[in-house]
Structures are given as C-alpha cells and as structure tokens.
Amino acid sequence: MSKIILITGASRGIGAATARLAAQRGYDVAINYASNREAAEAVAADVRKAGRRAVTIQADIGKPGDIARLFTTVDKELGRLDAFFNNAGIVEKASRFVDIPPDRLQRIIAVNTTGAFIAAQEAVRRMSTRLGGNGGVLVNMSSMAAKLGGSGESTDYATAKGAIDTLTIGLAQEVASEGIRVNAVRPGFIYTDMHASGGDPDRVDRLSPFVPMKRGGQPEEVARAILWLLSDQASFSTGTFIDVTGGR
C-alpha cells in the first residue's frame, strides 16, 4: 500500500522537485499551491506519469481557514497522511532592517511561521498515535537564513525561519513518543523562482563565488535530503537538520 504525502507550496522550486521525487519513491502526492494552478497541474501530471495518485489543492497558507480546508480535502481525496513536507514560504524584495514596514513583516510571519505552525498542528492531529493515528514524518522547510540572519536583505524572512528551527526542535521532542519524527532542511543558494519573487533573479549566480563548492544548488539536491528524512533510513533521526548549502 502506497504512502500519502502532502507538500505545501508544491507548484514550483523545491516543493515541486520533492513532489516528483516522492512519486518516484512510491508516494501518492497532495500538491498544494497558492495561485498558479497550471504549474501545480504540471507537477501532478508528472506524479501520475510515475504511476502514483495526485491531487492539486489551492490554499493560502497565510490563512488558517484555508489550511484546515487543505487537510480535510487531502483526507477525502487521498486518505490519512503518512508524511508532510511543511514547505510553503514567501520572501519579499531585499530591504534594510529599518525599512521593513509592519504589513510586510506580518505577511512574512503569517505564511512562513504562523501558517507552518498551524499546518504542523493539522498534520500531528492526523499522525499521532496518542490521537488514534498511525504515526508519520514531518519535514519543515527552514533556511540558512535562520543561522546567518539575512542581514541587509531579509531579516524578516530570517526571523521567520529561525522560528521554524525552534518549532522543529520543540515539536520533535513533544511527539517523539507518539510515533512522529520531525526534522528540517536548511537550503542555501538554490536555483528557484523565489529569488525572482524577491526581486533578484540572478542572486544565486551573483553569490555562488562565496559558496565553498563555487556553485548554487538545484532543487533536486534538496529534495533528495528531504526524501531521506522521510524514509525509514532516517528512523532514529528526529529534531535534527540537514544543511544543503555547498558548505556555506
């Protein structure tokens, strides 16, 4: 019997790469997207080509009501979750700390922190053996910004991802006895559309000379780390992090 995974923010970048690799590894995949239905359907088509079931579900992870609807839709369309990649995130254009307005900070926190927290709650409610579930695995999307601080560019995003690191540790300890493992990945400079969303589409090429491996990473390289954390090969790993950064 195949396992079921939900991936938020799965229409592009690391989320899309993880959805495709998960299908190759035998998962049925629920693909969440915020607005780009066409991109999400393209990912779903690739999942189906791999012989797995796929469903696309629009939901804004910045809205608690949308998160609740997302999870109940997965329940109805695919069944009870075995795995959750808590991936959805947003970033704004580079800005100095003092120039970040309150509404921007609130948007960043709403999706990257509050939304991820609430989504993790929904996943745990379905997986916890204490609550009648069969156990499961969560992988949170953090960032090297959580360790480096985002100075001069995105201290709001870095702050939000620092909270994800704390969530990963605390939640892992709380639900370890309930059959749930919780880990995170911290990508570095990866070739994704997020940099263009932040107003700097050439950011990876510009900064890759500062990476010890002298290149940016590909979404598939992060996806492989995520699938390892989801797998039984990582059966004794919880509350931990994989930095996928080329040594940065």
pLDDT the model gives residue 199? 65
User: Is the Cβ–Cβ distance between 167 and 199 less than 8 Å?
Assistant: no
Average predicted confidence (pLDDT) for the chain = 96
pLDDT the model gives residue 206? 87
* CA–CA dist 182, 248 (Å, integer): 24
CA angle 143, 147, 152 (to 5 degrees): 90
pTM of the model: 0.96
Q: Which CATH architecture has domain 3-244?
A: 3-Layer(aba) Sandwich (3.40)
Digit-coded pLDDT (tens) for 230-247: 999 999 999 999 999 999
> Which tokens sit at 230?
């989801």
Residues in the chain with pLDDT values less than 50: none
pLDDT the model gives residue 2? 86
The one catalytic residue in 27, 33, 157, 191 is 157
Q: Structural domain boundaries of the chain?
A: 3-244
pLDDT the model gives residue 136? 98
**Phi then psi dihedrals of residue 82, to 5 deg:** -105, -25
pLDDT the model gives residue 158? 98
pLDDT the model gives residue 196? 62
Whether residue 157 lies in the annotated active site: yes
Digit-coded pLDDT (tens) for 59-101: 999 999 999 999 999 999 999 999 999 999 999 999 999 999 9
DSSP 3-state percent helix, strand, coil across the chain (nearest 5):
50, 15, 35
Other residues' Cβ atoms within 10 Å of the Cβ of residue 11: 26
* CA–CA dist 180, 189 (Å, integer): 30
